Each structure stands twice: as C-alpha cells, then as structure tokens.
Amino acid sequence: MLESIESLMVSPEVLTSARRLIAGDSQILARAISWVENGLDVGSDIYQEILPHCGNALVVGVTGPPGSGKSTLVGSYVSVLRNLGRKVAVVAIDPSSPLTGGALLGDRIRMSKHAEDRGVFIRSLGSRGDLGGMTCSTYQIVDLIDAAGWDVIIVETVGAGQSDSDVAALADVSVVLCAPGAGDQVQALKAGVLEVADVLVVNKSDMPQAMLTSQQLRTMLETRRITGGKVAEFVNTTAILNQGLSEFHDAITRVAQREVGHPKLRVQERARRTLLSKAAKVSRDRILKLAGSEVEKICSDYLAGRMSQSESVERLIFLCTG
C-alpha cells in the first residue's frame, strides 16, 4: 500500500512523511497535525497524499452543552475500548487562548490516566473562533489520524449547544449529551442538535431530575419516530462511576453497523468541507484586510440606509475577489 503513494507535484520530504504517517509513526502524525492546524502548505500536501488511505477508522463525535460531562464520558469510553484491544485517538476541541490561539483546556490533563498508554493518542485543539463546535482543520486532522492506523477516533467538541451540529458531517456516529434538570438544554437540543444525534445520552443519571430529563427526551424521540424523523439510540450513564458504559458502547456499535459502506463517503465529505472551510477563511481574511475609499463608501452607504446589508456584503465580496 505504501508504494501507491506517487506524485510529481510534491517534494520527496512530503512523500517520506506521508509514508511514515501511514506506517503508524506517531511522531510524524503529531507534526503533521501541527502543520495542518497552523495552515502550513506542508500539512496540506501530506493530507492530500494520505487521502486514499482513509476510511478505516470509526469516527465518533461527542457534543453537548457545557457541564454535561463530555470529557468524563470520553475518558471512561476510552477505557472500555482499550479493554477491547482498540487503538483510540481523542481529538478534544477547546476554547482558544486569545493570545496564542492554542487550547485553553488541555485534555492531556483531564485524561491523564491514559497519558502513558501507547494505544491512546490525545490531541487538544483550540477552536480559534471557528463556529460549529470544531476548527476548520478538524476534518483534515481526523483523516490524518485515520490514515495512521488508529481504530477509533473520538472528537469532543467545544460544547456550544446546537451549533455543534457540524459534527454530524465529520463523524460516523454522533453522540449528544444532556445533563439532568437542564430544561433549557433540552429545548436547545430540540431546536437543532437532536436532529443529528445518533446516540442521545443523559449523563450524570445519579443526580436528581435525571428520570424527568430522560422522560422528556424519550417523549421527544417518540414524537420524531411518529412523524418520520431520525430516531436516536437512547442511553443513561453515570460516567464518573462507570455506569451505563456497556450500554453506551453497544448503542454506538449498533449505529456503526448501520453505517457499513459509508466511511468513504465520510472521507469525501470531510475533504469537501475542508476545501469550503479554507475558502471561507481566505475570503474572510481578505475582507478584513480591505481598506480604502471604496470600503469606506460602502460602509457609509450602509449606515445611511442607501444600501441594504445584503448588497453591502456582495460589494465587499466583489472587492476582494473581483
């Protein structure tokens, strides 16, 4: 398989790095992730070389409101997978430092019990202001890890509520968490993220109101079933006590079995979203750098009501692309 990497458009160094990554070199994988995260051309070149080798890992996206226990559940689930002999990678997307752009919360700390396990790869990414609960480089990073031979890749999003629905385009199985007694969270889920959930989890089920929250969500799922909408698997867990983890794993497995034959389509979708995200970022950066009398005139016309918002936006886009 390694011999299939051929290209006349990239350097020998890129090809060597791609081969080493596909062979499972974790050091090269870590470097390639940094190159991609920092927008370096070498990262993009390696990514393009490894794409034909993607589509083998199970990608599980975990999202939900802050405080629902995502990191605890992910850490406990990693233990379940390691007991089954699976190699597991965790990509944890955290709020960014306003100074460095790096992740403020290091999941290497929150998942310290796995730090010495060579069968676990953990990487924290700063959100860098990107919406949708993920960075624009997340799609590429998942594929890099996939090509490096990891069996399961867990992506834990920032936890910004219903904006995390982008995780459905990334993952083979989308997991949505909700904490007991969170009425507002249930309504937020109803409005958006619930529609993309493959597995719906009420975590911290030992807490008061857990039963009520479970009943609310089950009612919502039943309504969706009756109306022909997507119906998620439903699980109660108390991750900190390792309760419900077997049921959680079984639910993910059932969904994954239904997704047989789809991994390559996910790779195509991740590549498509990578290009769109990059194009959007380049366009945004160009617009923010615009200066001059024409820009000031557009802003003045908009403020004075002589130009609509949509027309103003179109004019700005034309300035940076025309």
DSSP helix/strand/coil, 172 = coil
Class of domain 54-263: alpha beta
The answer, yes or no, to whether residue 308 has pLDDT greater than 90, is yes
Instruction: Read off the pLDDT of residues 113-136 as tens digits, 9 standing for 90 and up.
Output: 787 889 999 998 865 555 444 667
Given the DSSP bridges, would you call strands 199-202 and 233-236 parallel, antiparallel or unpaired? Answer: parallel
| pTM of this prediction exceeds 0.75 | yes
Q: Which residues, 6+ apart, have CB-to-CB distance to 252 below 8 Å?
A: 60, 173, 175, 198, 199, 233
Highest-confidence range of 103-112, 222-231, 239-248, by mean pLDDT? 239-248
- How far apart CA 253 and CA 264 sit, in angstroms, is 18
Q: Which two tokens stand for residue 77?
A: 């689930």
- How far apart CA 89 and CA 22 sit, in angstroms, is 15
Q: Which two tokens stand for residue 137?
A: 């480089």
Residue 217's pLDDT band, with cuts at 50, 70 and 90, is: confident
Q: Which two tokens stand for residue 160?
A: 């910004």
More confident residue, 171 or 281: 171
Q: Which two tokens stand for residue 78?
A: 């990693």
Quick one: average pLDDT of 220-245? 85
Cα separations in angstroms, 149 against 23, 190, 296: 8, 36, 52
In 38-98, alpha helices (H): 41-50, 70-83
Highest-confidence range of 38-47, 266-275, 282-291, by mean pLDDT? 38-47
Choice among 10-14, 22-26, 133-137 with the minimum mean pLDDT:
133-137
> H or E stretch including 120?
strand 120-126
* DSSP summary character for residue 241: G
Question: Rg of the chain's alpha carbons, rounded to an integer?
Answer: 21
Query: What is the CA 9 to chain-centroid distance, rounded?
Result: 30
Q: CATH 3.40.50.300 spans which residues of the chain?
A: 54-263
Choice among 24-38, 103-117, 308-322 with the minimum mean pLDDT:
103-117
